[in-house]
Structure 1
Amino acid sequence: MQEDRHDTEAGVAEGAFRRIRGDIIAGLLPPGKRLRLEQLKAQYGASVSTLREILNRLASENLVVAEGQRGFEVAVATPGNLREIADLRLLLESHALRLSLSTGDLEWEGRVVSAHHKLSVVEAQLLNGDMARTAQWVRYDFDFHAALISACDSRTLLDLHASVFDRFIRYHMLAASFRGAPVIDDHRALFDLAMARDVDRCIDKLTSHIRSGVDHVLSTGRI
């Protein structure tokens, strides 16, 4: 019975963590928002002690800032921080991509083909003005990039990349603007170059893809 209670509490804690983290990335908990424990308790259904653990965990990802005796608040969004995150994403993803393209097998190719197909379908819908697909696009965008590097054979590298990717995507969600045809073209080029195992050109395309994303976010004036 005690084990069942512990499993239930752990499930509640993990669920609350994922919801709070997701709401920060989606911009539903905006930059600079004070995170009051009693309000969070009512909103996310977790105890105050559990919420403290969650917020400290999010602080380790730089999504939340601990303000000493003042409590916690959502990390601010700045152009400088976006550029730092973009540099870190590029460093991690380029390394993982180089490893993945050198070892990827038929199963890896299948994952990349499937991920790109789903992404391209949603991007076509966004291009036609169906902005309700934005959240779906965010998921499939990550799935595609994750598929490209999935054969790197390093769980630690994949986990670090996923965390940094989410922090990068938060800026796109705050900008609330789809880049349009250029991002679709980028993804198609990345797909083609990956399938051809053209490592250097694929990394060059990834570099321009991430840099263009930063420029687009900043051009909206919302950061």
Structure 2
Amino acid sequence: MESPTSLTQGAYVELRSELLACRFAPGEKLKIDDLCRRFAVGSSAVREALSRLASEGFVVSEPQRGFRVAPLSIEALRDLTNVRCNIEGLCLQGAIEKGGIEWQSQVVAALHRLSHTPVWADKAARRYSNEYAKAHEIFHEVLAAGCDSPWLLHLREMLFNHSERYRWFSGPFSKVERDLDREHREIAEAALARDSKRAVALMNEHLQKTASVILDSSLSEREQAPKSAKPRAVSG
């Protein structure tokens, strides 16, 4: 029999994954009973998971009214992207300065995995594959890991995860074609060449371009959409 702690952790992991994938619409009310049935756990495990997710900013706790999915907004995305650029830049600079042969090998492996993972689960619907989403996460994580700063890496992970919500939400609506292989390859090559200035500039361009794509996909219109109108989940 599973312990209460493991049940809570399981509910947290599953619910967090579904929130990041936008399987719940921004602003949607999260009903305890529905979540208990969905994840086959008790109400205490769900409440603890929701409280933890609220502390991380993925859920909003409303006194006497329960929990809702955290909203998305244009201004929040712009702020998030600018802060993320700063933190990713610091991580990348530190990694280039401190990363050894093990870090270099991991960057090469992560780039190889990313470039050889099929991008689309459904290209017509603009839905990225889960495998690509994971490879993409690992690539950015490995690039930063060489900086050897637990606090910077913690902040980077938090910002990355919040950025992913916007990517999943807006992906099906985007019509912009990008050469993501080239973007990722150039960042990795500059990092491996110990060219901090170029690597950071390319990373900033990459992140700001992603934000622009999301903003150009009519995020402002969908901010006003009914809460029941759920977008198709995507990643990448």
Structure number with higher relative contact order (C-alpha < 8 Å, ≥ 6 residues apart): 2
1:58-105: CA deviations, max 9, x gaps? 111111011111110001111111112212221221111111110111
Q: Cα gap change, 1:97/1:42 in structure 2, threshold over 3 Å: closer, same or farther?
A: same
Partner of 2:130: 135
Residue type matched to 2:179 in 1? P
Show the 5 A alignment for 1:155-194: 155-177=150-172, 180-194=177-191
Q: What is the deviation of 1:49?
A: 2.2
Residue type matched to 2:70 in 1? A
Residue type matched to 2:4 in 1? E
**2:74 corresponds to 1:86:** no
C-alpha distance in 2 between matches for 1:167 and 1:53: 20
Structure 2 unaligned runs (5+)? 223-236
Partner of 1:113: 108
Q: What is the deviation of 1:155?
A: 2.3
Give 3-state SS (helix, strand or coil) of 2:146's partner. coil
1:158-205: CA deviations, max 9, x gaps? 222112101101111111247543332211110110110100111111
Partner of 1:195: 192
Higher mean C-alpha deviation, range 213-222 or range 125-134: 125-134
Higher mean C-alpha deviation, range 136-145 or range 107-116: 136-145
C-alpha distance in 1 between matches for 2:54 and 2:183: 33
> Percentage identity across aligned positions?
28
Partner of 2:218: 221
Give 3-state SS (helix, strand or coil) of 1:65's partner. strand
Q: What is the deviation of 1:127?
A: 11
C-alpha distance in 1 between matches for 2:83 and 2:149: 17
Q: Does the 8 A contact of 1:64 with 1:75 survive in 2?
A: yes
Q: What is the deviation of 1:13?
A: 1.0
C-alpha distance in 1 between matches for 2:4 and 2:40: 11
Give 3-state SS (helix, strand or coil) of 1:215's partner. helix
Q: Cα gap change, 1:36/1:172 in structure 2, threshold over 3 Å: closer, same or farther?
A: same
Partner of 2:14: 19
The one of 62, 69, 80 equivalent to 1:67 is: 62
Q: Does the 8 A contact of 1:138 with 1:169 survive in 2?
A: no
Q: Does the 8 A contact of 2:122 with 2:128 survive in 1?
A: no
The one of 17, 25, 28 equivalent to 1:30 is: 25
- TM-score by length of structure 1 reads 0.89
Q: Does the 8 A contact of 1:25 with 1:173 survive in 2?
A: yes
C-alpha distance in 2 between matches for 1:53 and 1:157: 27
Higher mean C-alpha deviation, range 158-167 or range 10-19: 158-167
C-alpha distance in 1 between matches for 2:177 and 2:144: 24
Residue type matched to 1:86 in 2? T
Q: Does the 8 A contact of 1:120 with 1:184 survive in 2?
A: yes
Structure 1 unaligned runs (5+)? none
Structure with greater proportional helix content: 1
Give 3-state SS (helix, strand or coil) of 1:69's partner. coil
Residue type matched to 1:11 in 2? S
Q: CA RMSD of the aligned region, Å?
A: 2.1
C-alpha distance in 2 between matches for 1:128 and 1:134: 8
